[in-house]
Amino acid sequence: DTAVSQTPKYLVTQMGNDKSIKCEQNLGHDTMYWYKQDSKKFLKIMFSYNNKELIINETVPNRFSPKSPDKAHLNLHINSLELGDSAVYFCASSQARSGVPTDTQYFGPGTRLTVL
C-alpha cells in the first residue's frame, strides 16, 4: 500500500493554464506539506497544513493555493502557470505537534510539472 501518493506523476501544460496536483496519505498523520524541487535539485518548503489548518506559508506567489479538505488530503492548485513553475512538486506527511518531538516526514513520489 502506498503511504503518500500524488496524482498526476507527470503534468505537461501550456503557460497561462490552471492545474491541480492531488496528494493523499494513509499513514494517519495530521500534518502535510508541499515542497518544490527546482531544476538544480534544490528542495524548499512551500506550505504545511496541520489538521486542515495552514501553518506554513513560505514566500510563494499567490497563484499557488493549497487546499486541505481533510487531514489525509492536501491539494495544490496553481493558477496562470508560468515557465518558472516547472519543477518537481513533492507532498509529504508527518505526525507533528507543536513543542513535541515529531515524527519523520514521509514523501510522495513527486509530480514533475513542465510548463511550455
Partner 1 sequence: AQTVTQSQPEMSVQEAETVTLSCTYDTSESNYYLFWYKQPPSRQMILVIRQEAYKQQNATENRFSVNFQKAAKSFSLKISDSQLGDTAMYFCAFMYYGGATNKLIFGTGTLLAVQP
Interface ranges with partner 1 (CB under 8 A):
31, 33, 35, 40-45, 48, 55-56, 58, 88, 90, 92, 94, 96, 98-102, 104-107, 109-110, 112
The residue (of 62 and 98) whose beta carbon lies closer to partner 1 is 98
Q: State in angstroms the smallest separation of the CB of 99 from partner 1.
A: 6
Q: State in angstroms the smallest separation of the CB of 81 from partner 1.
A: 21
Residue 102 and residue 7: Cα distance in Å, rounded?
A: 27
- Beta carbons of 23 and 69 less than 8 angstroms apart: no
Residue written as grid cell 510548463: 115
Q: State in angstroms the smallest separation of the CB of 13 from partner 1.
A: 19
